[in-house]
Amino acid sequence: MINPNPLLRLHALGQRIWLDNLSRTLLQEGALKKLVAEDRIAGVTSNPTIFFRAISESPYYREELQKLKSDPALTAEQRYETLAVADIQAACDLLLPLHKASKGEDGYVSLEVSPALAHDAEGTLAAGLRLKAAVARDNLLIKVPATAAGLGAIEELVAHGCSVNVTLMFSLRHVRDVAQAYVRGISRLVEAGGDAGKVKSVASLFLSRVDTLIDKRLEAIGGEALALRGHSAVALAKLSYQDYRATFSEAFTALAKRGARPQAMLWASTGTKNPAYNDVLYIESLIGPQTINTVPDATLAAFREHGKAEPTLEANIDAAHQQFAALQDFGIDMDAAGQELQVEGLKQFEDSFRQLLALTA
């Protein structure tokens, strides 16, 4: 007897799986189409690191890149955007039937603004609107980091009717601030008579990096603190989901009646970095309705092969609170750690973006 694909059961439990990868190899050799058909992949995310890997490794960019480089009027960033926009458009087109069939709930592809704009709200707004116009697809999400400037840009983009994927979130404070930025933006759009039903937003909470940092601090403390290792990220996600439900329940009802969609929680950085932990830890522990899990290829394959799909997201909430309380007792400030991780994550994306532009220079 063939074991059923556990990825398919996630749909019945209200969760969608997105692929944390994009390249012309995936598009042109049919791998992404197969994942959508067989595993019900419902979206795709990209970032500077993903595009650097794609352009540097896939042969399908070489001819076009050489042509772009022969035009001295183009900057390195314009060459990169030409390549990336074409990939995003192709992925959007592949997922368009799903987008239409789900009435705009599924089938999205994310494109990130330049990390160099992370502290420039006006620059992020301009870039987001420019990229939206360039891709010209209803199932595009403009990806914006949850920095202080990013929060302002998120509100403005949503108020302009732009769908947004908020990235680089690592704390409950980030989750709360981002939710409020989205509510402000969608409220303004509704009041201005815009079509709120065409706006989708997801809030991407990064997980494995949280455990990596907090585990190091617990190991430095030693003793009883060691028992807390490997539980901080899941606790963070569970408590974030409780916040999400509180924000988008009764208080959002009036906006929902006018067509607004609640912002969805998305679990990101879900490839387990510590080999001592379950390789599908950040999928199995966080399965629940109105959520998205964006996974790298290896984690997707692992869950397909041996994952267990059961509703877990709202189980053991008391344990999540206890984890946070214990961390606080040991002097670990999760909001401060989240801010540190955001700064580190942004630097990693900036480094990848610089490497990316070196490829296209």
> Catalytic residue positions?
143
The label of the residue with tokens 């937003």 reads: 201
Phi-psi region of 222 (alpha: psi -120 to 50; beta: other; left: phi over 0): left
**Residues pairing with 42 in the sheet:** none
Range list of H helices, the chain = 6-12, 24-28, 31-39, 48-57, 62-69, 76-101, 121-135, 148-159, 172-191, 208-221, 232-247, 253-257, 281-284, 297-306, 317-329, 334-360
Q: How many CA atoms lie within 13 A of 130 on its CB side?
A: 12
Buried/exposed code over 292-304 (b: 16+ C-beta within 10 A; e: otherwise): bbbbbeebbebbb
Q: How far is CA 152 from CA 73, 113, 196, 263, in A?
A: 33, 14, 19, 16
Q: How far is CA 288 from CA 1, 60, 171, 221, 293, in A?
A: 28, 38, 19, 34, 10
